[in-house]
Amino acid sequence: MNPLFSRIVSKLRRIRFSISPRSRILTFGAIYLGPYTNFKHDRTPLIWVQWSDMQYTHGINLHYLNSADRMWFMRTIYLMSRGGQKITPRNMYNFLKLRRKNIIKVAYRKYFTSLMNMRLVSPGITNMHKLVYTDHNEEFIKTLNTQLQPSSIFNRSVPTIAFSETELQERVIQATQSIPITQRRVAPYIKPQGNRAPWLKE
């Protein structure tokens, strides 16, 4: 078969699979593990879901993170859950770009939803604790899940870490809309008349 024709057929086949009615939309803010048919490097990705519809699923493949980035990400999920934070996928993406850009650069991936056979292995920042599968070998996910148990998160002896459930999202929006200090315009200095301070009355 002609190589060009073969590539076209392969692409059409992937498109057909990607819009298959068998697709199962995954939940933003949860972590899934499972085989991916169209893999290149990781046959069984471990994915923090950023966005999912019937055609594509976007997420962070935690297998691609180094130990420092992985621990930072797990700690962030724990703190978001403990603070009861609500955040949109876009603002979560912006938060990662602001605080840990390397995570986006190294581990952000887009998958065909219908080619994934994923199982929920961590509720992440969702409330799907009762739907989690525990028969896997990801030890750091098991540790995270222990920390995410409602009995641990909502312990009243633990200090409050957020003033409201939208505090993180509001801070991200504020940061993304702010003007870098190198681009700010400073008003010209006006020298006061006389020797007295301008706020003092005569």
Let me know: does 44 contact 32? Beta carbons within 8 Å: no
**Greater model confidence, 190 or 122:** 122
Q: Give the pLDDT band (50/70/90) at residue 184.
A: low
Of the two residues 171 and 10, the one the predictor is more confident about is: 171
| Residue 191 or 60, more confident | 60
String of DSSP letters for 46-62: EEEEEEE-SSEEEEEEG
* pLDDT tens per residue across span 5-20: 666 655 554 544 444 4
Nearest CA-CA partner of 95 in 178, 172, 165? 172
Residue 54 has pLDDT above 80, yes or no: yes
> Residues of 163-198 as b/e, b for ≥16 C-beta within 10 angstroms?
eeeebbbeebbeeeeeeeeeeeeeeeeeeeeeeeee
Strand order in the sheet with 119-122: 108-112, 56-61, 46-52, 31-33, 119-122
- Residue 91 CB coordination number (10 Å): 19
The answer to whether residues 18 and 56 touch, using CB atoms and an 8 Å cutoff, is yes
Dihedral of CA atoms 174, 177, 178, 184 in degrees, nearest 10, equals: -160
Q: Give the gyration radius of the chain's Cα atoms.
A: 24
| Structure tokens that stand for 116 in this block | 């994934």
Q: How confident is the model at residue 65 (pLDDT cuts 50, 70, 90)?
A: very high
Of all residues in the chain, the percent with pLDDT exceeding 90 is 46
pTM of the model: 0.70
Predicted confidence at residue 81, as pLDDT, reads: 87
Residue 164 has pLDDT above 50, yes or no: yes
CA distance 77 to 122: 11
pLDDT of residue 158: 47
* pLDDT at 182 (0 to 100): 59
Residue pair 31/47 in contact (Cβ under 8 Å)? The answer is yes
